[in-house]
Structure 1
């Protein structure tokens, strides 16, 4: 039986052409080894290309070079402030990560502004989707929900480009605005988890009065009084101190039926972490970076390295346990999309975040990037990591 495991490569160099040549050599060596094995290797059909933003201005040339070297491979990807591979991350240096797979051509479809979603009569039923996008895209959350509704499982995974010079995404072309990515059919197995990077600093509360992004009351009390209580501050706190502490305070929002209360002191997987944008101290009102509705659950929180490490280990161990159960097949390759505010420094040392993943899953082919927002299910997250493992026999 042909080997359908993924192959991957990564390289850093000031000249993207030399980095790409190094990646090509790495992939060619892996493919040659598999071709010599019993059954040979199935031809590559789908590839991922993640670029550090140093290379973003040359995205078209890089994509053209990939297509010329592997003309039968459909390429997707994006650019970010950092990219990652198995056990390693590249922040603030010119680097690229490539990964490719020998998936059946009928098992996936690319989509973009030039390639619309397949029609209901096409014979292809999307079950899941990898999505790349830009934060500047109007109504990106609405677009994600619409795309989620077009898949059988409703499950999306991916992230927003975080490039500082030129945000972009690729799907056999280079795009700005909108969404692009890959739709996967039911034959493509995957296990995906979201890991949170924040921890509640106070109790889970119920929103009792809100309008759009303005939060008036929690549990019948002024929202400002609640956050001051959780921060251990009084109403007489100086304005400059209040502005400083609120700039470092986040909120974890969840719907009433979320699992947010399943484990005390930890957010549920559906929790969306958002910034506090402003405060009306006179009326006790907070402005949040998302729409908030009556009945939602909310807890104030801060970024927490210890909680991030513990939660990443939890989700990686869950995935490993599911793989070891034998019900999902073996791991073929993985994608990891983490918040640009995470990475090694947040986990204690360079590469620590990716080394935790490798320690749990083994030296699995892995590609990913550090995003300006992470996509999971039908929502846009922040300060999280989305770890997805592709499985097969």
Structure 2
């Protein structure tokens, strides 16, 4: 595999943005280190273009005839290498250099079969998943989809839009315009497509982790045998009998980090791991001294109250980037140091594994403003990984393994060992 061509642009008119992107892609595809005939397009658009998604995809398909399969989604923002576009009309596109035998585009129209049940010689190992957040029992659907892969690992995110909740999924020879609504869609990859994926958290615990010892539906009633509401208020250092408004403001700024009962115990109390799902506090039950969360809870789960934290988010993002580099080292460390501005990407170490492209799905509540400035989040990724091709979007929820997350980022890189594929 060679480097995946990628491009991004913003323009009030979708057609002009597409023209700008196509010019960038053609320039890259003429370079020897980039793929000249990629097959899979991953397209992400901001919701400004949602109503024109079919026309946009049709134009790209006509102008990029080697790209036979397409997938993508709409977000309130999209990401490219070193840049993010929030609240403006923009698109980000990456063209993957993968043999068609090693992936399948799926959707409700063309569902993914269990293993090789369809007799087509393809068995899903991992999958990129785009989801509609309004789909009933979405968490269960995500878990069921993970069960259709041999690794049980998914990566992706929930569509985020102030208008049409658009997903894009069009396999080679598929019918229709490729624009879908509802359910799940994406791309499944077999075991020959090597991926490295990590989850980064955006919140920091503000109290000790405790076991849920009593609960009903989405209401936590007891933590380590103590009334959950009392634990929350003690953690925040407030009371409802004093300045109730100040107490409620503190509660509104607080979230809950949940872990399943069988998740590994967290070793560092100051940081969340990948098994933690951050959920909103949606209400207080004064009668039962309970705390209502935006998710179903069960006895045995572990909970730690938390708050969004810029410093923790930056440190955790740098941590996962370092873990990706370490997994590909030592060759990557030597060959993918940050290049000078304008230079060609250094992503092909001699005799080692290399990053051909990266996909980053981040929460719509993160982005540059949360990290201290415009595009700061993507600049951290570029500084850590180097000038590798990257596309992605800002989602209404993130997908990793078999779970739905919030306030996280999911970084996935496509890796090519020498001679692979």
Matching of residues 41-60 of structure 1 within 5 Å: 41=35, 43-60=37-54
Matching of residues 131-210 of structure 1 within 5 Å: 131-172=129-170, 173-210=178-215
Matching of residues 256-267 of structure 1 within 5 Å: 256-267=261-272
Alpha-carbon contact 1:259-1:268 (below 8 Å) kept: no
For residue 376 of structure 2, what is the aligned residue in structure 1?
A: 352
Task: State how many pairs are aligned.
Answer: 387
Q: Distance in 2 between matches of 1:95 and 1:260?
A: 41
Structure 1 residue 280: deviation in Å? 1.5
Corresponding residue to 2:63 among 56, 65, 69: 69
Structure 1 residue 134: deviation in Å? 1.2
Structure 1 residue 42: deviation in Å? 5.2
Structure 1 residue 246: deviation in Å? 1.9
Seen in structure 2, the aligned counterparts of structure 1 residues 50 and 80 have a Cα distance that, compared at 3 Å, is same
For residue 89 of structure 1, what is the aligned residue in structure 2?
A: 84
Could you tell me which runs of 5 or more consecutive residues in structure 2 were left unpaired when the two chains were aligned. 171-177, 333-351
SS in 2 for 1:28: helix
SS in 2 for 1:33: coil
SS in 2 for 1:60: helix
Q: Distance in 2 between matches of 1:58 and 1:215?
A: 44
Matching of residues 217-232 of structure 1 within 5 Å: 217-232=222-237
Corresponding residue to 2:75 among 80, 83, 87: 80
Deviations 1:202-236 (A, max 9, x none): 00001000111011100111100000010011352
Alpha-carbon contact 2:198-2:412 (below 8 Å) kept: yes
Corresponding residue to 1:105 among 92, 100, 105: 100
Alpha-carbon contact 2:240-2:247 (below 8 Å) kept: no
For residue 4 of structure 1, what is the aligned residue in structure 2?
A: 2
Alpha-carbon contact 1:225-1:235 (below 8 Å) kept: no
Alpha-carbon contact 2:213-2:299 (below 8 Å) kept: yes
For residue 282 of structure 1, what is the aligned residue in structure 2?
A: 287
Deviations 1:18-59 (A, max 9, x none): 11001001000111122xx7xx94521101111011111101
Structure 1 residue 133: deviation in Å? 1.0
Structure 1 residue 161: deviation in Å? 1.0
Deviations 1:253-298 (A, max 9, x none): 0023323521121112110000011011232111110011101110
For residue 346 of structure 2, what is the aligned residue in structure 1?
A: none
SS in 1 for 2:318: helix
SS in 2 for 1:151: coil
110-119 or 222-231, which deviates more:
110-119
2:330 matched to 1:316? Answer: no
SS in 2 for 1:349: coil
Alpha-carbon contact 2:72-2:130 (below 8 Å) kept: yes
Alpha-carbon contact 1:260-1:270 (below 8 Å) kept: no
Corresponding residue to 2:366 among 342, 348, 352: 342
Corresponding residue to 2:309 among 285, 304, 313: 304
Q: Distance in 2 between matches of 1:170 and 1:244?
A: 40
Q: Distance in 1 between matches of 2:168 and 2:77?
A: 16
SS in 2 for 1:236: coil
260-269 or 305-314, which deviates more:
260-269
SS in 2 for 1:164: coil
Structure 1 residue 324: deviation in Å? 1.5
For residue 20 of structure 1, what is the aligned residue in structure 2?
A: 18
SS in 1 for 2:235: helix
For residue 128 of structure 2, what is the aligned residue in structure 1?
A: 130
